[in-house]
Amino acid sequence: MSAAEGAMMEPLATGIEAAKKARIKPGDVALVVGSGTIGLMCAISALTGGCNRVFISDVKQEKLAIAGSYKNIIPINTAKVNLEEFVRRETNGLGASIVFEASGSPRVYPDFVRCARRGGTVVIVGMLNGTVSLNMTWIQVQGLRIETLFRYTNTFDRAVALVNAGKIDIKRLISKTFKFEDSIAAYEYAAAGHPDVVKVMIELS
């Protein structure tokens, strides 16, 4: 494992923690809201954990293109299509077995929850700054289970083992690597918000 890959273990461990909280069953269909670094890790971890397909949504087509390069990850550009309608259509009207909220954006609330199938699971991964509203009556009628997490617990070693075993490919998520003496340029590049950038790395040796 390269040093750059090693630096990806922390976000991958968070994705694995989310998959663990979801209690994935073989053949489940998942939806990940948000295709940032953590969202991508949730999608990859969901597939590794047993999901048959994983939908991932965002408004940035460049990020969705990266997500779609993984087999069985289906990107959805919500700037162009209605998320719930798309997911319902692709699941014969049932909805996703598991919905991961990984954007941390209050703008996706409360609508994203409606993409879950009856008796499904919603995992809140993204960290919100503020409060949001949820229709608890609808959630109860649908029998949804809601899980939350903060980072990860006892999944870092799993992340390392899965990457070392070749079960998870994270190399394509390392967008650009800078030498240590170019650290300022690295931070400036990362702060520029390039739409096709997932992770920027700094080599320490």
Tokens of 54: 């994983």
The helix/strand/coil state of 30 is strand
Domains of the chain are 3-148 (3.40.50.720)
Phi, psi of 62 (to 5 degrees): -65, -40
pTM of the model: 0.92
89 Cβ neighbours under 8 A, 6+ residues apart: none
Confidence (pLDDT) at 205? 67
CA separation for the pair 118, 96 (Å, rounded):
9
The 10s digit of each residue's pLDDT in 128-186 is 988 999 999 999 999 999 999 999 999 999 999 999 999 998 888 988 999 999 999 99
Residue 66 CA to residue 171 CA, distance in Å, equals 12
d(CA 24, CA 114): 19
